[in-house]
């Protein structure tokens, strides 16, 4: 079975949000159209406590883009985003959610960040997504969402590590691009690790 993963398509990552991804809203119609071709759809949701350690505002003298050590790992600091219960943490109102089988929340532990939908950044705790997919008989995952150079990339890398055939839908993701070219670097890294990177039209041809 195939599964479509919708990674963090939340208001704070869309234009006007606290951590907006440029053109992030442009993926929503593509993702919505893709849903028609999948029996199993799973969404991930960044869901931080307001005192999360990845927020620059929680570290005196620090600003977004600075680096600290968090949970024993290098951590880029972000604006406050996707706080539990906030409007910014909600999924885009334009995103179709009626076929989403389950929502996997991540980033709940204030002591460590969690880009991937499968594990925290230190791989100390699983979200349960891998077991959920395997229990459903999933062999192949198609990854969409935000952002290409962080949560999408790390979700896809963990999917590979968990033994899933992994396809990243190139036109159904956008990058933060802290550095110019980060989108292309992310796609190159994913290919080098064994993921396929495909356009949505080619995905539809493959599975329909």
Catalytic residues: 8, 106, 151
**Integer angstrom CA distances of residue 201 from 96, 147, 149, 172, 187:** 19, 20, 22, 11, 18
Supply angle C-alpha 10, 16, 17, rounded to 5.
Answer: 40
Contact predicate 2/141, CB 8 Å? yes
Contact predicate 170/198, CB 8 Å? yes
**Integer angstrom CA distances of residue 156 from 21, 69, 88, 90:** 19, 24, 24, 22
Closest by CA position to 34, among listed 184, 196, 199: 199
String of b and e for 110-136 (b: at least 16 CB within 10 Å)? bebbbbbbbbbbeeeeebebbebbeee
Pairing relationship of beta strands 73-76 and 67-70 according to DSSP bridges? antiparallel
Burial tier of 140 (Cβ tally within 10 Å: 0-12, 13-18, 19+): middle
């Amino acid at each position: 079975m195939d599964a479509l993963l919708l990674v963090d398509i939340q208001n704070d990552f869309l234009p006007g949000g606290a951590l907006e991804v440029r053109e992030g809203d442009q993926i929503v119609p593509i993702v919505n159209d893709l849903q028609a071709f999948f029996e199993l759809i799973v969404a991930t949701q960044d869901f931080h406590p307001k005192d999360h350690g990845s927020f620059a505002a929680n570290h005196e003298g620090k600003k977004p883009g600075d680096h600290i050590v968090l949970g024993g790992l290098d951590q880029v600091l972000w604006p406050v985003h996707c706080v539990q219960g906030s409007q910014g943490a909600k999924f885009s109102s334009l995103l179709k959610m009626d076929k989403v089988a389950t929502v996997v929340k991540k980033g709940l532990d204030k002591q460590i960040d969690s880009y991937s939908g499968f594990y925290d950044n230190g791989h100390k705790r699983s979200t349960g997504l891998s077991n959920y997919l395997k229990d459903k008989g999933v062999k192949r995952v198609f990854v969409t969402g935000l952002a290409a150079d962080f949560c999408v990339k790390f979700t896809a890398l963990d999917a590979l590590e968990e033994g899933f055939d992994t396809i990243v839908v190139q036109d159904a993701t956008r990058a933060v691009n802290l550095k110019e070219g980060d989108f292309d670097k992310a796609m190159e890294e994913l290919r080098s690790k064994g993921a396929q990177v495909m356009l949505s039209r080619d995905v539809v041809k493959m599975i329909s």
